[in-house]
């Protein structure tokens, strides 16, 4: 019995790693292709389409949806939570930056969706004569890799001044499709 439980747990870990590897590969392909849109430069962040609670701009990139009463979409809310769980230590609260890492609120004004995925998944190293900045790769960390779109959507809302420096009080419900994708990515099904 012990062996079969061990093999089952190993298979779950292997499945999760395979999903993360696929995500990293997709991010690398998007980054190599140069991405397709900018947060506010060449692309309008207005949501024009929704699929299972996920909103997309006219170029097909994930985006935010904020109702007049302040209700945010699930991805913006989840992105706020994930950003403050994993990213704010270096990049500062609300994407405002720190002495250690740049303000992602500003970076997403010109960074394409593909470039964002590539940097988060693979990391980045900037070296000049004054300093060396290294962002580690998070493509194998399911607490980041499984929520890259959420973090992107939240930071895109911040970059476009659509959301301020506060935790969203009201949000849409988590969709069944989101729950299934989350469970799959985290190796729970």
Q: Is residue 112 within 8 Å of 35, Cβ to Cβ?
A: yes
Q: Is the pLDDT of residue 134 over 50?
A: yes
Sign of the C-alpha dihedral computed for residues 179, 152, 32 and 21 taken in this order: negative
H and E: helices and strands count for the chain: 8, 5
Residues 6+ apart with CB under 8 A from 9: none
DSSP state of 73: P
> Quick one: the chain helix, strand, coil %, rounded to 5?
50, 10, 40
pTM of the model: 0.74
DSSP strands (E only) in the chain: 49-51, 54-56, 62-63, 124-127, 132-135
CB atoms within 10 A of CB 34: 9
Which residues lie below 8 Å from residue 93, measured CB to CB, with a gap of 6+? 84, 165
Tokens linked to 139: 């493509």
Q: What is the pLDDT of residue 54?
A: 94
Confidence of residue 77 (pLDDT cuts 50, 70, 90): very high
Compute the average pLDDT of residues 44-65. 90
Model pLDDT for residues 104-113, shown as the tens digit of each residue = 788 888 888 8
């Amino acid at each position: 019995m012990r062996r079969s439980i061990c093999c089952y747990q190993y298979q779950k870990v292997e499945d999760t790693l395979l999903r993360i590897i696929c995500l990293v590969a997709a991010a690398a392909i998007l980054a190599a292709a140069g991405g397709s849109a900018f947060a506010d430069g060449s692309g309008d962040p207005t949501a024009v389409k929704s699929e299972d609670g996920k909103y997309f701009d006219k170029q097909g990139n994930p985006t935010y949806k904020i109702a007049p009463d302040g209700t945010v979409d699930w991805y913006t809310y989840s992105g706020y939570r994930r950003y403050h769980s994993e990213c704010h230590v270096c990049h500062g609260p609300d994407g405002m930056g720190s002495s250690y890492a740049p303000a992602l609120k500003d970076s997403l004004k010109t960074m394409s969706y593909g470039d964002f995925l590539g940097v988060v998944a693979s990391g980045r190293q900037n070296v000049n004569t004054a300093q060396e900045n290294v962002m580690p790769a998070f493509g194998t960390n399911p607490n980041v890799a499984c929520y890259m779109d959420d973090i992107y959507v939240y930071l895109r809302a911040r970059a476009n001044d659509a959301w301020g420096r506060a935790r969203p009080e009201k949000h849409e419900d988590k969709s069944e499709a989101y729950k299934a994708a989350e469970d799959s990515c985290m190796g729970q099904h």
